Chain A
Amino acid sequence: MGKVLYIDYERCIGCKACVIGCEECSGHDHLSRMFVDELNPGETVATSPTPCMHCVTPACAESCPVQAIAIAADGTVLSASMEKCIGCKNCTYACPFGIPKVDDQKKVMYKCDMCYDRTSKGRPPMCASVCPTDTIRFVDEDAVKYEPPKPVQFKWDFGGTVIETRTVIGLPDTETNQFGYREGGGVQP
């Protein structure tokens, strides 16, 4: 099995190094494909880095009218082929995670391709390399999915449609609240 991205939201400090690192990846043309969202500004400093989830049945690729988005042999959902993409934005509407972006100047879509230049040669993607807190890690798929260090989620239920993703999310520890957000509005007594 290949390696996949594992994201542990509890560790994220919101430094956005992954966003900058993504821009610097050679194939990415200085357009960042990474999202770092502030979950509840003012209440908490929690942030969530989101690269592409790399679905097993990617809605972006299946909705593409010109089949510009391809799945590589290892399951990585690639960014749209520059020659094929017509900039119709179907993928942006189809993606349940809101990952694809469209470059309105060039009229092409771009999304995380897990730095395919690097990962196809066994090197970790830029976001994982630059993350200072190991929030984003590049780990073995089977190990993180079926023998995870903490509860993980990689199947998402969208109103009955279950989507399995290759990117694995580590669930926050809601039992001991060892890190981060606490119940009670985030105000600590």
Chain B
Amino acid sequence: MRKMEEFLRKIAFNIRRDRELDLNRRGFIASTLSLMGVFFVSSTPLIALSKNRKEEAHESEVFIANEGDLEIGESFSFQFPDENDPALLIRLSETEYRAYNIKCTHLMCPVYWEKEEGHLECPCHNGFFNVEDGSVIAGPPQRPLPSINLKRENQKIYAVGISQAQH
């Protein structure tokens, strides 16, 4: 207890004249930097944890629709990767399909397929997305729509993953 009190006195009171300059500006900067270093080092377990975390990849293939079910220019809504994530499958041409998560990146209103204009539209604040890659054409959203990777096999369309497009 007495040792503790002496230690606290030592660090709290800068009254020894021969050690007066130990707590100068340079000492303050050194202690600040070393504190930052301690924080950095103490965060490495967290980095390791985040590296070890399983990728949020959705390995499972989810069946969406048969190829013939959708007319060119039509859309079909489904849920991927789980029930709370609405998504839209759009057929652009004979062989081209696109699928996007339709939560608007602005305030998560559902985005719908505007067939005549040929883009995705969010009705809440007039946000427009390019159907080719999900990028923002106009409106308040800053980030593109997450696109869903598709796989076609035996005339069937599967959703195999979701990726944040880099634009």
Contacts and interface: CB of A to CB of B under 8 A. Distances in A.
A binds B: yes
A73 B13 contact: no
Contacts of A64: 15
A46 interface: no
B17 A57 contact: no
B18 interface: yes
B20 A70 contact: yes
Nearest to B16: A71
B3 to A, nearest CB: 14
A61 interface: yes
Most chain A beta carbons < 10 A, residue from B9, B12, B13, B15: B15
Most chain A beta carbons < 10 A, residue from B9, B12, B16: B16
The bracket for how many chain A residues form the interface is 10 to 19
Nearest to A64: B15
A67 B18 contact: no
Nearest to B6: A57
B18 A69 contact: no
Interface in B1-54: 9, 12-18, 20
A62 interface: yes
Contacts of A78: 17
Most chain B beta carbons < 10 A, residue from A58, A67, A69: A67
A70 B23 CA distance: 14
Nearest to B13: A62
Nearest to B20: A70
A166 to B, nearest CB: 15
A72 B17 CA distance: 5
Contacts of A62: 9, 12-13, 15
A57 B20 CA distance: 16
A186 B84 CA distance: 98
Nearest to A58: B15
A62 B9 CA distance: 8
10 nearest A-B pairs in the assembled complex, by CB-CB distance: A70-B17, A61-B15, A73-B18, A62-B13, A67-B14, A71-B16, A71-B15, A72-B17, A70-B15, A67-B15
Interface of A: 57-58, 61-62, 64, 67, 69-73, 78
Given A58-B15, A61-B15, A73-B18, 10 more contacts: A62-B12, A62-B13, A62-B15, A64-B15, A67-B15, A70-B15, A70-B20, A72-B17, A72-B18, A73-B17
13 contacts: A58-B15, A61-B15, A62-B9, A62-B12, A62-B15, A67-B15, A69-B15, A70-B16, A70-B20, A72-B18, A73-B16, A73-B17, A78-B17
